[in-house]
């Protein structure tokens, strides 16, 4: 049985699953689908064309499905799609997609945590098991792959990509693509090693972690340009998911990947 507070505003055509809780002064628009077991807390807002999976929580002040902040948007129908078990904390904002991007949908994968005051712009794709820490802002069409963590106050440039299992230090400005499995931070954004602690927590074996580290030593510490480093890795390492993920990411990067640490890099990685 659903528990809808009498002071909530829920459009009669909105589709709510079972055991959904809607708090006072929450607003749910007409073309909204909310899965079983979701909690829409007081003063949360869900506008049209949002589809939300099961067991999600939307905290006070969060706004999901507002029209994109893009001058090319012309009132077309576009979407926000949210997976299962997603927590969207206080005052976070997730905008709809745009037709001009060729995507038309903003996605957040299952088991992801969106902390307070995070902004996810139009047509972004956030994977599963990600953490976006408070005050992070990702610009339009940013792609955040599974298990990535963006530290507090991270800002990403439009079209940026953050690879799976990567961790970006708090306060960083992401203006280049961040390859998978790495740590990065400082100003300008720089490679700072492999995310060893995160990989251990997620069940990577010592051999897998050593292989990842050896590959990034070639990419960042052996004096090769990125193209030659990729060729050397392809020739010198047996095929594996980790190898192919790293090579595919670097070779398909359109913005270029973050550089190695330099003497001009400032600050500490949180």
* Three-state secondary-structure class, residue 3: strand
Active site residue: 23, 122, 165, 170, which one? 122
188 has which bridge partners? none
Give which of 93, 267, 90, 95 is closest to 190, Cα–Cα.
267
CA distance 221 to 216: 8
**Could you say which of 53, 140, 151, 170 is catalytic?**
140
Element (H, E) at 35: none
Length reported for the chain: 270
* Active-site annotation holds for 122: yes
Using CA atoms, how far apart are residues 181 and 35, in angstroms rounded to an integer?
A: 32
Please state, in angstroms and rounded to a whole number, the distance separating the CA atoms of residues 65 and 43. 15
Nearest to 59 by CA among 31, 33, 21, 96: 21
Look at residues 192, 164, 159 and name the one whose alpha carbon lies nearest to residue 176.
Answer: 159
Q: How many helices (H) and strands (E) does the chain have?
A: 4, 28
Question: Out of 29, 123, 145, 177, which one is annotated catalytic?
Answer: 123
206: helix, strand or coil: helix
For residue 243, count other CB atoms closer than 10 A to its CB.
17
Catalytically active residues, by annotation: 122-123, 140
């Amino acid at each position: 049985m659903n528990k809808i507070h009498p002071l909530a505003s829920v459009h009669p055509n909105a589709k709510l699953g079972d055991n959904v809780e809607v708090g006072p002064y929450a607003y749910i628009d007409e073309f909204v689908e909310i899965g079983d077991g979701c909690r829409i807390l007081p003063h949360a807002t869900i506008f049209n064309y949002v589809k939300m999976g099961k067991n999600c929580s939307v905290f006070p002040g969060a706004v999901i499905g507002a029209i994109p902040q893009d001058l090319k948007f012309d009132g077309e129908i576009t979407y926000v799609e949210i997976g299962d078990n997603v927590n969207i904390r206080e005052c976070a904002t997730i905008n709809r997609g745009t037709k001009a991007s060729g995507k038309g949908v903003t996605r957040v994968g299952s088991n992801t945590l969106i902390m307070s005051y995070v902004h996810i712009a139009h047509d972004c794709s956030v994977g599963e098991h990600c953490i976006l820490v408070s005050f992070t802002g990702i610009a339009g069409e940013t792609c955040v792959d599974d298990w990535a963590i963006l530290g507090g106050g991270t800002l990403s440039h439009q079209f940026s990509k953050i690879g799976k299992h990567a961790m970006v230090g708090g306060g960083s400005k992401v203006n280049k693509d961040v390859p998978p499995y790495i740590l990065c931070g400082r100003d300008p954004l720089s490679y700072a090693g492999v995310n060893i602690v995160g990989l251990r927590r997620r069940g990577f074996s010592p051999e897998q972690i050593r292989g990842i580290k050896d590959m990034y030593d070639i990419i960042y510490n052996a004096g090769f340009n990125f193209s030659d480093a990729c060729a050397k890795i392809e020739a010198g390492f047996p095929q594996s998911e980790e190898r192919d993920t790293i090579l595919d990411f670097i070779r398909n990067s359109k913005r270029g990947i973050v550089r190695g640490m330099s003497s001009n890099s400032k600050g500490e990685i949180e």
